Amino acid sequence: MKPEEARRISEANVANKTEEYLEVVYKRIEQAALKGHFRTSHPFYGCDDVGLSYPHGGQLDDIIRVLTVQGYKVVHYDNPDPGDPRSVDYYEVSWK
């Protein structure tokens, strides 16, 4: 396989996965909006329900870029409660 062909296949798969991840995030947004909320935490919760792992690296960057272009605000909370060992980083998507 030539490098050009490998890149084409990789880029096509990344694009397809981005759409799949976005479907999960849009579902979370819809659920929150129907409850009258203007944000949702842990927008990637449910990815494993559709056979996706948690997005990382370039995949995560692509998803955040798409959401931002669409007008959503995406915030990453690195360590929300440093004193609590159960505290983990998370993302929040808002639309107000």
The answer to whether residues 91 and 43 touch, using CB atoms and an 8 Å cutoff, is yes
- The residue among 89, 67, 63, 61 whose CA lies nearest residue 76 is 89
For the chain, the domain total comes to 1
Residue entry with tokens 């690296």: 57
pLDDT reported for residue 24: 94
Split at pLDDT 50, 70, 90, the class of 14 is low
39-88, pLDDT tens digit by residue?
Answer: 999 999 988 888 888 898 888 999 999 999 999 999 999 877 878 888 78
pTM: 0.78
Torsion (CA) 29, 74, 13, 4 in degrees, nearest 10: 160
Domain with 71, as residue range(s), is: 3-94
* Contacts with 62 (C-beta within 8 Å, 6 or more apart), sequence order: 14, 18
For the cut 90, the answer to whether the pLDDT of residue 30 exceeds it is yes
